[in-house]
Amino acid sequence: MSNIPPAVEMDYPFPAKPLPLSAAEREQLTRDIKALLAQQNAVLIAHYYTDPEIQALAEATGGFVGDSLEMARFGREHPAQTVIVAGVRFMGETSKILSPEKRILMPTLDAECSLDLGCPVDTFTEFCDAHPDHVVVVYANTSAAVKARADWVVTSSIALEIVEHLDSQGHKIIWAPDRHLGAYIEKKTGAEMLRWQGHCIVHDEFKSRALHDLKLRYPDAAVLVHPESPASVIELADAVGSTSQLIKAAKELPQQRLIVATDRGIFYKMQQACPDKEMIEAPTGGDGATCRSCAHCPWMAMNGLVAIKSALTEGAEHHEIHVDAALREKALIPLNRMLDFAAELRRRQG
């Protein structure tokens, strides 16, 4: 398609792996965090892709585990005045946009997202300005500044419906930042979009040939794929969907063995939903690779127990998320469009 912007080349600042903790250290940190959350009227919300012990801690302390928008909505509706967001930076920003009166802390402000980093606001704004007759639709995995430039914000769970709606009204569409999700939406809706060429470093690594071989090894298994994956991987799927949709599919599919192509952090909630089923990680490499499935976001892994305790003890200087008031007001407009659309869709579906 013409006018597709070139991929933004990024030298991603991958973080070092957190130092391993002994069982005694983990137990003590967990006790400390529980006490600090109670003392500070704080709640912990965690993304599906964080490590299992962080998701378990969020649940054990009355917090929440979900996708980025579900996290932000939970934080807004919860009475706690301090929200600890275990995830990546754009998730903290989304929480602050929806809850400006609350203190939003993150275990680390250095937890990034390749989709966010691959869509710098200045370059993206220049591209949008070159196509003023297009409606700008951006994925939730973007900065507050990029959201502020958009007409619509979408999550993977509702992107198809919103793009289909816009296309039916005759709108030309700019899509950003994930090229694979954009291609999937184009195929499913028939809409033509100018697609930004970003990608998720985790989902982009899934390999269709290795997945095909794994399916031959487990012919009775269902394949679940997140649409941020390459098209050749999606073509092998029995179910395609957002994190929440994949968990739902895992529960509803009749197969007792599931091959899952998304970040392995999702296995914690997926196993809760269907404890009797076997989960297999989809391959990110072939038989000769040193890591046949390395599907875990290195930035999500930064949200460890030590970092969460630091957020509760150090507070604002190194952990608090701030969003400029004027920028927040602009970013809230496309977010609210999505929320209103989703509410109307739920009403129609009964």
In this prediction, residue 350 carries a pLDDT of 75
Q: How confident is the model at residue 2 (pLDDT cuts 50, 70, 90)?
A: very low
Higher pLDDT, 221 or 7: 221
pLDDT at 288: 47
Average pLDDT over residues 197-225: 97
Q: Please say if the pLDDT value at position 293 is more than 90.
A: no
Q: What pLDDT does residue 1 have?
A: 43
CATH architecture of the domain 203-281 equals 3-Layer(aba) Sandwich (3.40)
As a whole number, mean pLDDT of residues 179-185 equals 98
CATH superfamily of 115-199+330-349: NadA-like (3.40.50.10800)
pLDDT at 11 over 90: no
DSSP string spanning 119-157? S-HHHHHHHHHT-TTEEEEEESSS-HHHHHH-SEEE-TT
Q: Taking the model in full, what pTM does it have? A: 0.93
What would the pLDDT profile of 317-331 be if each residue is shown by its tens digit? 899 999 999 999 999
Looking at every residue in the chain, the average pLDDT score rounds to 94
**Measured between alpha carbons, how far is 50 from 300 in angstroms, rounded to an integer?**
5
- From CA 172, how far away is CA 186, in angstroms rounded? 12
Question: pLDDT tens digits, residue range 222-246?
Answer: 999 999 999 999 999 999 999 999 9
For residue range 70-86, what is the model confidence (pLDDT) as tens digits? 999 999 999 999 999 99
The pLDDT value recorded for residue 119 is: 96
In the CATH hierarchy, which fold is given to the domain comprising 23-112+300-319? Answer: Rossmann fold (3.40.50)
23-112+300-319 and 203-281 share one CATH topology? yes
* % of the chain at pLDDT higher than 90: 88
Q: Is the bond into 107 cis (omega within 30 degrees of 0)?
A: no
Residue extents of the structural domains in the chain: 23-112+300-319, 115-199+330-349, 203-281
Q: What is the pLDDT of residue 292?
A: 46
* Residue 94: band (very low, low, confident or very high) from pLDDT cuts 50, 70, 90: very high
Distance CA 66, CA 55 (A): 9
User: What are the φ and ψ backbone dihedral angles of 255, each rounded to 5 degrees?
Assistant: -65, 140
Q: What is the pLDDT of residues 155-171, one digit of tens each?
A: 999 999 999 999 999 99
